[in-house]
Structure 1
Amino acid sequence: MKKLILCICLATFSLQNHASNDPNYNQLAEVVNDNLNSKKMHGHEKLILSTMNWHKRSVDQLIETSRQLNTNEQRYVLNYAILKSVYAEYLIEIHCRPESIDAQKQAENIYQFLFKQQPNDRNVRYNLALFYARTSTSYRKDQNNNERYRLLKLAEETLYPNYQKYPKNEQYRNDYYAILSEQLDIVQTKANQRDEQQRLIDILKTPLFKILNNPKQNYDSGNFVILVQQYYKYLYSQNPKQADQWLISHKNKIENYVNTQQQNTQREYQFLAEFYALLNQPQKALYYLSKYDVTNVDAASPETIAKERNLANLRLNPNYQNWFKQYQLDYEENQKAYPPLCSSMQGNLDLPKQKN
């Protein structure tokens, strides 16, 4: 089943929240701890920017020094990088991409500095890998996917030593699988990467089948849905009939796992709408279509929905037609709000001016 949207779901950055004798260090750690999720930044933009501006000079001075930083200094700089990273994600969510890319570059320079200082520190390595992976989502709507793929390969390369050295660490393992799954999303569209597709499928079959056999596995439901979609697509490329049979035969297991989650994400709504349309259950498909949120940064465009072959069974359904017409209007209206929003934030929060 082709995905409408693929959005990597990773753990939050690993905060270095240790008490320090320096109140400035502790103040930064507190702000970062309260804003590890970019969704929490809404309404706190002035605090975030003032905090970054306040600590920027101290961080720059530490980075410019030629000496090895002590433990507290390293934690301080890492927390600053984390805050900058999450803020870059927030800017993407409100569709201020030029500003986000600038923040991404600043954060990457800081992470690279820390990695050179602490090449064997697994927490620094983990945060750098997450940075690459989460930054890659900024480029998933680009047509060629080159920058997205480059970042994902860097994420894999950076996280692999942790994954290999600490095989029982669920966080490392699940995030490593999520990064490979994102890569698979790209290589499945390229005819000249069949060997790479097979490599990724062979690795990712392990978590997929484990969850299907034991739904109590500790694994993000959205990433599980993505694995189902990708494996279905892999089977479909070889034998469409066999792929449909596989999906139908695992229907109950897929439903049971998704239904155990307390809250579904946009990715799951999109998958489930396609899933039930494919199974010719229009009422359930329409229910999940009604959950589509045009304000979500990953909202599927009307053009994408119109081309989705797995929704073909709904095309002549009057209820679907009414829903699609309204969704199209809401989507277009929502898109108009983004440029004024970025301009407003530039005026109120002294963000960098967009380049014409």
Structure 2
Amino acid sequence: MSTLLRVEHVSKHYTLSGGLLGAERRLDALSDITLSVEAGETLAIVGESGCGKTTLGRCIIQAQPVSDGRVTYHPLGGADVELTALNKRQLKPWRQDIRMIFQDPMSSLNPNMRVFDIVAEPLRIHKIAKGKALEDKVISTLAKVGIPAEAVGRYPHAFSGGQRQRIGIARALVLDPKLVIADEAVSALDVSIQAQVLNLLEDLKREFGLTYIFISHDLGVVNYIADRVVVMYLGHVVENAPTEMLFERPRHPYSEMLLEALPIADPLRRKGRSTELRGEIPYLGNRPKGCPFHTRCKYAEDRCRAEKPVLRPIAGTAQEAACHFAETLTLKGAYEDNPPQVASAALAGAGGLPGPAGQ
């Protein structure tokens, strides 16, 4: 595989007003993020709410400008493009290649537009098709995600949550992108509909040769769909690993904590193990010194409170971790309580793609 996208030392901060008497404060939403996305893979970005994963997705597509660092797109067969160096006009053609599926399908779809116009809008903006060619492209794209031609004149409120998410997927795919960023694309759906949408995303990936960045807080979903996982905490990448390796033996205590919280088929198998997430995420405007996770880590030592660890490769593995003791800690994975097939089988068994009238 070749690298399709490279994020290098990206940081994003906001300046907050302190009110009438307070001084302005800087809030660091992202801190020195470096990662790459390989063509054809599904890279998952996971972490608790507030860890910066959605901000990172928006910075990648330049919906929000980065404060530092750069994002470079490597189109197959073309010259590298530094997206962070482009203005809005220069970015426009590259937004055909990199598209985003948003978390809430109801709020991301214009309630005053018909489904046909919602999906046709990107084609019109980029002046790719018009007339009969535009109509055919919209209807064929909607058909691929399970929305029948007779429904294209309806408005978003007439569809179920799962159908609205399919419309959002069609809007992202209508420009034939190379990279799709799915931001919590199934979190607003119930479990059976999640399975249908995930299976749809997998089918579309194979059919169109897509690459995904899948942003999620649900490790069960990530285990099903992702090839590789980036774990974020407090605006930092704390671990980067192939999915199976992460679930079998995490290298960062935060990853272990997330895996301990996974639901399992037989809770008695977890008897004696703590599944409670320790403490709360610190306020971004008042980050702890040293390792950002030390305030919640049961393995923390004095070095962790004084010295911030860097993300580095772990010898003999395909994993990276930002922990001083990544090589020496023996952390527990998900497979000790759950066979590796459980999450995937549960989701896959919930149902395949429905017919055109399905949810």
TM-score (ref. length: structure 2): 0.26
Task: Name the structure with the higher strand share.
Answer: 2
Task: Name the structure with the higher helix share.
Answer: 1
